[in-house]
């Protein structure tokens, strides 16, 4: 018997056997991962149903189940952040979006959402930085340009705000929020505010446009808040579809 040939053959069969076992183990792991992913998605879908019925606390529990199964599921973190926002917990919502960004630093939507949350906390400079992150990733993100314009308005940087609105309108000419923001600033030179030196009507006491001499409320067709001097419809809102999230901040 040729011992050398036998040893060589034996080693070859052993190697083939090891490869087979390894392939089987990998296949089993892939099947397990696929099953876990499917289970995670089931919890996310359940959360979306709950959030659609305004049951935000229960929705968060569902998203937490999904996160427990797959901590790297950015969708679960995204929707959890929405539910937290709906519960008026912007700080906790920011933590959720920080996790999304940690998972995928190139997620422009997550950066935009974080900006809106920061703006809600009156952290306008930080909000603008978040919008800029989103725009660096996706320069054609019109919603982020509009949101940046709104934050710039809050800082009194009206020329820069108009530039941001113009950029948004280049991308999406039908962006009603950018159109409204640009209209207000273009007609009045600044948001209607007595404290900024905007001319005031002697008869009504309301800010007037330098270009028309009319009260700002007549130009935009909306009343002006007596407490803030801003148009009454100036109120941040969210535009969100749970199946296709697009977050925006704007005029209502």
- pLDDT tier for residue 7 given thresholds of 50, 70 and 90: low
- pLDDT tier for residue 9 given thresholds of 50, 70 and 90: low
pLDDT tens column, 135-165: 999 999 999 999 999 999 999 999 999 999 9
pLDDT tens column, 201-212: 333 344 443 333
SS3 208: strand
pLDDT tens column, 161-196: 999 999 999 999 999 999 999 988 887 665 543 333
Whole-angstrom distance, CA of residue 97 vs CA of residue 90? 10
Place of tokens 């933590």: 95
Q: Which helix (H) or strand (E) holds 157?
A: none
Q: How buried is residue 22: exposed, middle or buried, by Cβ count under 10 Å (0-12/13-18/19+)?
A: exposed
Q: How buried is residue 10: exposed, middle or buried, by Cβ count under 10 Å (0-12/13-18/19+)?
A: exposed
Q: How buried is residue 203: exposed, middle or buried, by Cβ count under 10 Å (0-12/13-18/19+)?
A: exposed
Whole-angstrom distance, CA of residue 129 vs CA of residue 115? 8
Q: For the chain, which domains are there?
A: 16-104 (1.25.40.10), 108-194+208-252 (1.25.40.10)
Ramachandran quadrant class, 197 (left: phi over 0; alpha: psi -120 to 50; beta: rest)? left
Check: CB of residue 57 under 8 Å from CB of residue 89.
Answer: no
Check: CB of residue 58 under 8 Å from CB of residue 42.
Answer: no
Among residues 215, 191, 220, 189, which one has the least CA distance to residue 203? Answer: 215
Among residues 90, 88, 82, 18, which one has the least CA distance to residue 52? Answer: 82
**Neighbouring-strand partners of residue 207:** 200
């Amino acid at each position: 018997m040729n011992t050398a040939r036998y040893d060589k053959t034996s080693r070859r069969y052993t190697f083939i056997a090891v490869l087979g076992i390894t392939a089987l183990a990998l296949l089993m792991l892939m099947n397990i991962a696929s099953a876990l992913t499917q289970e995670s998605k089931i919890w996310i879908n359940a959360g979306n149903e709950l959030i659609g019925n305004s049951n935000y606390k229960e929705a968060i529990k569902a998203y937490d189940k999904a996160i427990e199964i797959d901590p790297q599921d950015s969708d679960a973190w995204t929707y959890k952040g929405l539910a937290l926002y709906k519960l008026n917990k912007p700080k906790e919502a920011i933590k959720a979006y920080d996790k999304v960004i940690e998972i995928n630093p190139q997620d422009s939507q997550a950066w935009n959402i974080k900006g809106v949350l920061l703006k809600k906390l009156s952290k306008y400079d930080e909000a603008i930085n978040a919008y800029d992150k989103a725009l660096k990733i996706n320069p054609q993100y019109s919603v982020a340009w509009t949101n940046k314009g709104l934050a710039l308005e809050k800082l009194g940087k009206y020329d820069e705000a108009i530039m941001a609105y113009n950029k948004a309108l280049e991308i999406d000419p039908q962006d009603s929020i950018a159109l409204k923001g640009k209209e207000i600033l273009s007609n009045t030179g600044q948001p209607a505010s007595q404290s900024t030196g905007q001319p005031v009507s002697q008869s009504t006491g309301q800010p007037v446009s330098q270009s028309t001499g009319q009260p700002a409320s007549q130009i935009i067709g909306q009343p002006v808040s007596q407490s803030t001097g801003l148009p009454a419809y100036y109120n941040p809102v969210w535009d969100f579809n749970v199946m296709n999230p697009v977050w925006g901040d704007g005029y209502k």
